[in-house]
């Protein structure tokens, strides 16, 4: 089984979410795993167990979508690199925790290419730079198949995060690649997505072959 990488560009959140569900529901044991590189128009998404109090100030211009991933509320917008991870956990010999670690470690490896030291936290999934959050994770597992994935802040308006407790983390400050890398060294979102998916594919297949 190969891993297909699909560059989808700027997409509506709900139609992409529906497409992930449709692919997961109809895929067979022979279906390829897929990584979808995408950006979304401004949207807040609330996880299955999300608490309403983590939305501090509703914004009439930014819709809120109750979605089926794990976790609390987060924000997506243009300039944020999203990779949706549609993989067969059983085929790849992965547990959920192992997949989360692969997502986190792949982001950490990508950031190391820019000499940025980052880390994961055992108490709060995601990736952090000097205590600020640069990437968020959220997954849904259905019949041992995953969808949803990761969001890496690259070159976006971070202001909408100030209206929420990101991922339920009170007083959590956000950061992005643009603020950590010289402008002339900042690749396009498409190139970053390709680099990140190469790392993800390497880590996933290395587990599957072990």
Q: What is the CATH number of the domain that holds 128?
A: 3.30.930.10
* pLDDT of 84 higher than 80: yes
* pLDDT of 83 higher than 90: yes
Share of the chain above pLDDT 70, in %: 100
Is 80 a known ligand-binding residue? no
Tell me, what's the pLDDT at 69? 95
Reference 109, options 8, 192, 4; nearest CA is 192
Helix (H, G, I), strand (E, B), or coil: what is residue 112?
Answer: helix
Strand ranges for 56-169 from DSSP E: 64-66, 74-76, 80-86, 119-120, 127-129, 132-142, 145-153
Tell me, what's the pLDDT at 210? 76
Mean pLDDT of 64-91: 96
- For the chain, the domain total comes to 1
Is 69 a known ligand-binding residue? yes
Mean pLDDT of 133-146: 96
Tell me, what's the pLDDT at 88? 96
Helix axes 96-112, 189-208, angle to 10 degrees: 130
Mean pLDDT of 152-165: 96
* pLDDT of 150 higher than 80: yes
Share of the chain above pLDDT 90, in %: 90
Is 142 a known ligand-binding residue? no
Looking up tokens 């498409």 gives 190
Any catalytic annotation for residue 197?
Answer: no
- The better pLDDT of the pair 18, 206 is held by 18
* pLDDT of 33 higher than 70: yes
Identify the band that residue 8 occupies on the pLDDT scale cut at 50, 70 and 90. Answer: very high
CB 111 within 8 A of CB 196: no
Mean pLDDT of 19-24: 97
Mean pLDDT of 104-118: 98
Is 50 a known ligand-binding residue? no
Is 148 a known ligand-binding residue? no
Identify the band that residue 159 occupies on the pLDDT scale cut at 50, 70 and 90. Answer: very high
Tell me, what's the pLDDT at 1? 61
Q: Choose the catalytic residue: 154, 167, 169, 174.
A: 167
| Structural domain of 119 | 3-208
* pLDDT of 145 higher than 90: yes
Is 137 a known ligand-binding residue? yes
Tell me, what's the pLDDT at 29? 86
Tell me, what's the pLDDT at 2? 77
């Amino acid at each position: 089984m190969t891993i297909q990488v699909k560059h989808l560009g700027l997409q509506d959140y709900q139609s992409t979410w529906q497409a992930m569900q449709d692919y997961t529901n109809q895929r067979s044991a022979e279906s390829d795993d897929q990584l979808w590189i995408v950006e979304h128009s401004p949207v807040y998404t609330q996880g299955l167990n999300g608490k309403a109090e983590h939305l501090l100030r509703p914004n009439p211009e930014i819709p809120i979508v109750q979605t089926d991933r794990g976790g609390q509320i987060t924000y997506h917008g243009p300039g944020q690199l999203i990779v949706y991870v549609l993989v067969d956990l059983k085929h790849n010999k992965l547990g959920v925790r192992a997949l989360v670690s692969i997502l986190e470690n792949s982001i950490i490896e990508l950031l190391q290419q820019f000499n940025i030291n980052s880390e994961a936290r055992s108490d709060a999934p995601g990736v952090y730079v000097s205590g600020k959050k640069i990437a968020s994770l959220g997954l849904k597992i259905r019949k041992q198949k995953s969808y949803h994935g990761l969001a890496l802040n690259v070159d976006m308006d971070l202001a909408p995060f100030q209206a929420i407790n990101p991922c339920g983390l009170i007083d959590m400050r956000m950061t992005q690649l643009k603020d950590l890398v010289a402008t002339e060294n900042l690749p396009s979102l498409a190139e970053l997505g390709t680099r990140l998916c190469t790392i993800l594919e390497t880590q996933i297949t290395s587990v599957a072959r072990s």
